């Protein structure tokens, strides 16, 4: 009877999405009201500086985070795959940050990255006084502090998926390559990594949808600052809905976020569908 | 521990609710009961409202306070949910223009009779009174006042600068900051990095330069005033302040740096009067710092008003209605206001309370006198950074510009002034 919970969650999801879409076309402010303002909420959101900064940040953060966390995860997985001792312990350690709430991650990193308290001060106290690591308070670099904290949190997750992929590569093929005289680098490059493509795409899509909805991490780490330099769409939605009491505009921003998500998920779904069709034909 | 007290009180309150219907029927008359929500759960705020609840109970009432700790927005979310469910609290914390905005979404209580009986209107600052009677009738009552532009001077930093004169104008202020800098104070301005923090720097600068320009541009959103020379001058002053701040504060709360302020590593702090309570709670002594009204170029005190208030929501239950009347009487009572302000470090809303007695600090007396003088010279204005001058949406749009300006030194004062005018236009 798997369809009962499925139906319930789908109804739940769809009804709230429809409700948000409806609100985004109304003049709602403090509380939801009926009425029709057309696309006025959308144009107001799109024209606001906050949203423009948030959208640019999302492109930068999303891209950098997905690529770097996948790369870090892959390297960790390859290193762990060398039949080393204590693999279980290391795997748990790398996976552990995933168990920590983003608010905790954000708060801890906000102390570590604060130039007056954290890493920079530590290095200064050790004697290297010209050392500078003040990205947290640098408008142009602050978004990278979020990338750093997010990678720390979730590269373990990518690692776990990649490790499973590495383990599922057919050992016979690798042995055959070894007999043919291929070195380890060549084996990784020509045989193992190409077989990881499907996993890479899965990792990228999961991380990307996480990147789009990032909220608690930024809120705890920089709270959108310095100034409004590290705004992200989810922060803008919260700010519009609850801090500025502009429900209609907040809903419009939320719908825009949904559209961005669909721009990622629909191609992914299409890709999966084509893959399955191909597999069925082969 | 204020939290334990609150919890115990809540428990007692809920037991009382269960027992109440039977009790009321037996008595024949309604025993006053009050359901209230606020964000005040801990520290001096929590202690003050708990003490108010105790007074309410002493008068025979049943006190049911549900604190929603955290930001004001979280308290508002709870209030919104309760209003939409048709079950508003009998009374809730709300302040400034939000009183007018929220009073449009649910019916409120007409407090005119009880306010008139207490003769309250005569003793409240006129601009403040207006906020609490948005449609001509009193629907909310201010509880305590803070000024958001008090100037705190670190005694040790003053010693380092070999200065003993409290700055009156912005020129004095800038002089003293330079002296502190050359006297070895690392950061002449103590600060946090939150949005209201940045907003306070700007409002203190503008109101200090010209209270009239502040009233026109920030309170009345007059287009010409928003493009006036005072705005640019205010931004230029904010740049000076920002250059004297510790750039490393990130998004920290101002209280993080209080120890450095007291130690003389930081010199001056432009902060609300509540900082006095925070300093005292942190174990610092009154001898460690001096409190004065914020800089004012015409030498008469400028008072940026921030007042906490309660709004009363219409309820049909006779016991809640009786509770609302009792609560209103208590909130306006000079003795209660004295008790409340002495706990939190604010000053009473009533301008006729005598602060010469024991239990008041020098800082509170200075603040109260500043308010009186500012009202007399029409220089008591409403704080923008703390949501008294405009509704939240407009305030947030203004602070966006200000906070970006504080943190981005490549923005020129003229550019910031243009952006502020544009932001106001966009949020209208």
**ipTM for this prediction:** 0.74
**What is the pLDDT, as a whole number, of residue B72?**
83
Residue B150: pLDDT band by 50, 70, 90 thresholds? very high
Contact B405 A227 (CB under 8 A): yes
Whether the pLDDT of residue B9 is over 60: the answer is: no
Q: What confidence tens digit (pLDDT) does each residue in A165-178 have? A: 998 888 888 889 88
State mean pLDDT over B218-242: 95
Q: CB count, 10 Å around CB of B309? A: 21
A34 close to B (CB below 8 A): no
State mean pLDDT over B327-331: 96
Residue B20: pLDDT band by 50, 70, 90 thresholds? very low
Q: How far does the CA of residue A73 sit from the closest CA of chain B (Å)?
A: 30
What the block records as the tokens of B87 is 């079950």
B409 close to A (CB below 8 A): no
Residue B282: pLDDT band by 50, 70, 90 thresholds? confident
Contact B247 A137 (CB under 8 A): yes
Which range has the worst mean pLDDT, A109-113, A237-241, B279-283, B414-418? B279-283
- Choice between B281 and B101, residue whose per-residue pLDDT is larger: B101
**What is the pLDDT, as a whole number, of residue B19?**
46
B76 close to A (CB below 8 A): yes
For every residue of A99-149, which 3-state class applies, written as one string? Answer: HCCHHHHHHHHHHHHCCCCCHHHHHHHCCCCCCCCCHHHCCCCHHHHHHHH
As a whole number of angstroms, the distance between CA B102 and CA B92 comes to 11
As a whole number of angstroms, the distance between CA B169 and CA B372 comes to 19
Interface residue of A219, A225, A240 to substitute, partner B, most B CBs within 10 Å: A225
Angle, alpha carbons A29-B82-B348 (nearest 5°): 85
Q: What pairing do the DSSP bridges indicate for beta strands B303-312 and B91-93?
A: antiparallel
Which range has the worst mean pLDDT, A179-183, B94-98, B206-210? A179-183
Whether the pLDDT of residue B15 is over 90: the answer is: no
Q: Name the B residues in 86-105 with CB < 8 Å from any A CB.
A: 101-102, 104-105
**What is the pLDDT, as a whole number, of residue A193?**
87
Which range has the worst mean pLDDT, B59-63, B106-110, B192-196, B334-338? B192-196
**What is the pLDDT, as a whole number, of residue B36?**
96
Whether the pLDDT of residue B208 is over 70: the answer is: yes
Contact A49 B400 (CB under 8 A): yes
Residue B22: pLDDT band by 50, 70, 90 thresholds? very low
State mean pLDDT over B388-414: 92
Q: Does pTM top 0.90 for this prediction?
A: no
Closest CA to A196 of A17, A47, A26, A74: A74
Q: Which residues on chain A are in Cβ contact (under 8 Å) with B393?
A: 29, 244-246
Whether the pLDDT of residue B302 is over 80: the answer is: yes
Q: What confidence tens digit (pLDDT) does each residue in B99-147 have? A: 999 999 999 999 999 999 999 999 998 889 999 999 999 999 999 999 9
**What is the pLDDT, as a whole number, of residue B25?**
44
What the block records as the tokens of B154 is 């670190």
Q: How far does the CA of residue A21 sit from the closest CA of chain B (Å)?
A: 20
Cα A215–chain centre separation: 10
Q: What confidence tens digit (pLDDT) does each residue in A234-269 have? A: 999 999 998 888 999 999 999 999 999 999 889 989
- Choice between A186 and B251, residue whose per-residue pLDDT is larger: A186
As a whole number of angstroms, the distance between CA B420 and CA A175 comes to 69
The alpha carbon dihedral of B32, B36, B41, B45 has a sign of negative
Q: Calculate the average pLDDT of chain B.
A: 90
Residue B347: pLDDT band by 50, 70, 90 thresholds? very high
**What is the pLDDT, as a whole number, of residue A1?**
66
Residues of chain A with pLDDT under 50: none
**What is the pLDDT, as a whole number, of residue B286?**
85
Q: How far does the CA of residue A239 sit from the closest CA of chain B (Å)?
A: 9
**What is the pLDDT, as a whole number, of residue B27?**
47
- Name the residue among B73, B396, B404 with its Cβ closest to that of A227: B404
Contact B193 A134 (CB under 8 A): no
Residue B23: pLDDT band by 50, 70, 90 thresholds? very low
Closest CA to A220 of A115, A146, A144, A133: A146
* Buried-exposed string B7-34: b where 16+ CB fall within 10 A, e elsewhere: eebbeebeebeeebeeebeeeeebbbbb
Whether the pLDDT of residue B213 is over 70: the answer is: yes
Whether the pLDDT of residue B316 is over 50: the answer is: yes
Q: How far does the CA of residue B234 sit from the closest CA of chain A (Å)?
A: 18
How many A-B residue pairs are in contact by the CB < 8 A criterion?
Answer: 80
- Name the residue among A30, A117, A137 with its Cβ closest to that of B102: A30
State mean pLDDT over B316-336: 95
* Buried-exposed string A11-46: b where 16+ CB fall within 10 A, e elsewhere: eeeeeeeeebeebbbbbbbbeeeeeeeeeebbebbe
Q: Which residues on chain A are in Cβ contact (under 8 Å) with B403?
A: 225, 227-228
């Amino acid at each position: 009877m798997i369809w009962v919970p499925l139906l319930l969650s789908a109804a739940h999801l769809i009804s709230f999405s429809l409700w948000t879409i409806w609100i985004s076309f109304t003049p709602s402010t403090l509380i939801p009201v009926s009425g029709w303002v057309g696309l006025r909420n959308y144009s107001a959101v799109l024209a606001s500086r906050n949203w423009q900064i948030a959208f640019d940040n999302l492109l930068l953060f999303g891209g950098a985070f997905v690529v770097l966390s996948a790369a870090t995860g892959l390297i960790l997985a390859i290193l762990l795959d060398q039949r080393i001792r204590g693999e279980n312990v290391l795997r748990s350690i790398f996976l552990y940050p995933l168990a920590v709430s983003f608010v905790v991650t954000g708060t801890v990193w906000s102390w570590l990255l604060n130039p007056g308290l954290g890493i920079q001060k530590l290095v200064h106290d050790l004697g290297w006084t010209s050392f500078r690591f003040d990205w947290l308070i640098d408008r142009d670099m602050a978004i990278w502090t979020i990338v750093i904290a997010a990678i720390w949190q979730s590269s373990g997750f990518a690692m776990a998926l990649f490790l499973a992929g590495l383990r599922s590569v057919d050992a016979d093929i690798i042995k055959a390559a070894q007999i043919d005289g291929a070195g380890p680098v060549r084996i990784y490059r020509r045989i193992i990594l190409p077989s990881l493509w499907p996993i890479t795409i899965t990792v990228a899509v999961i991380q990307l949808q996480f990147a789009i909805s990032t909220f608690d991490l930024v809120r705890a780490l920089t709270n959108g600052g310095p100034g409004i330099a590290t705004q992200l769409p989810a922060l803008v939605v919260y700010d519009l809905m609850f801090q500025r009491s502009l429900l209609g505009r907040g809903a419009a921003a939320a719908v825009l976020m949904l559209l961005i998500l669909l721009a990622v998920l629909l191609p992914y779904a299409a890709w999966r569908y084509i893959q399955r069709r191909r597999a069925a034909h082969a | 521990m204020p939290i334990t007290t609150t919890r115990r009180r809540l428990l007692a309150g809920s037991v009382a609710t269960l027992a109440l219907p039977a009790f009321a029927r037996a008595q024949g008359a309604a025993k006053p009961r009050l359901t209230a929500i606020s964000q005040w759960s801990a520290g001096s705020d929590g202690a003050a409202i708990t003490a108010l609840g105790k007074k309410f109970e002493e008068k025979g009432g049943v006190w049911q306070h549900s604190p929603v700790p955290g930001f004001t927005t979280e308290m508002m979310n709870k209030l919104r949910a309760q209003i939409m469910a048709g079950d508003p609290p009998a009374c809730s914390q709300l302040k400034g223009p939000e009183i007018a905005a929220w009073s449009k979404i649910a019916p409120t209580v007409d407090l005119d009779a009880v306010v008139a009986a207490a003769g309250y209107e005569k003793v409240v600052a006129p601009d403040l009174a207006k906020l609490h009677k948005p449609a001509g009738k009193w629907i909310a009552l201010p509880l305590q006042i803070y000024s958001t532009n008090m100037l705190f001077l670190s005694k040790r930093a003053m010693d380092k600068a070999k200065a003993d004169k409290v700055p009156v104008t912005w020129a004095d202020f800038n002089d003293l900051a330079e002296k502190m800098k050359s006297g070895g104070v690392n950061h002449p301005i103590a600060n946090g990095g939150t949005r209201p923090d940045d907003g306070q720097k700007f409002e203190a600068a503008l109101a200090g330069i010209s209270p009239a320009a502040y009233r026109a541009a920030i309170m009345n959103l007059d287009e010409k005033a928003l493009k006036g020379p005072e705005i640019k001058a205010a931004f230029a002053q904010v740049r000076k302040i920002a250059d004297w701040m510790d750039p490393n504060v990130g998004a920290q709360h101002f209280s993080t740096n209080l120890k450095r302020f007291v130690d003389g590593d930081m010199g001056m702090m432009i902060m609300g009067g509540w900082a006095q309570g925070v300093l005292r709670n942190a174990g610092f002594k009154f001898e460690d710092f001096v409190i004065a009204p914020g800089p004012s170029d015409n030498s008469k005190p400028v008072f940026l008003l921030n007042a906490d208030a309660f709004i009363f929501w219409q309820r049909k239950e006779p016991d809640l209605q009786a509770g609302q009347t009792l609560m209103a009487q208590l909130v306006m009572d000079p003795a209660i206001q004295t008790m409340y302000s002495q706990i939190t470090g604010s000053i009473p809303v009533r301008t006729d309370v005598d602060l010469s007695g024991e239990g008041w600090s020098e800082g509170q007396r200075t603040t109260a006198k500043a308010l009186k003088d500012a009202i007399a010279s029409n220089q008591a204005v409403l704080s923008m950074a703390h949501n008294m001058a405009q509704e939240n949406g407009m305030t947030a749009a203004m602070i966006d510009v200000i906070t970006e300006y504080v943190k981005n030194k490549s923005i020129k004062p003229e550019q910031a002034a243009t952006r502020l005018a544009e932001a106001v236009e966009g949020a209208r």
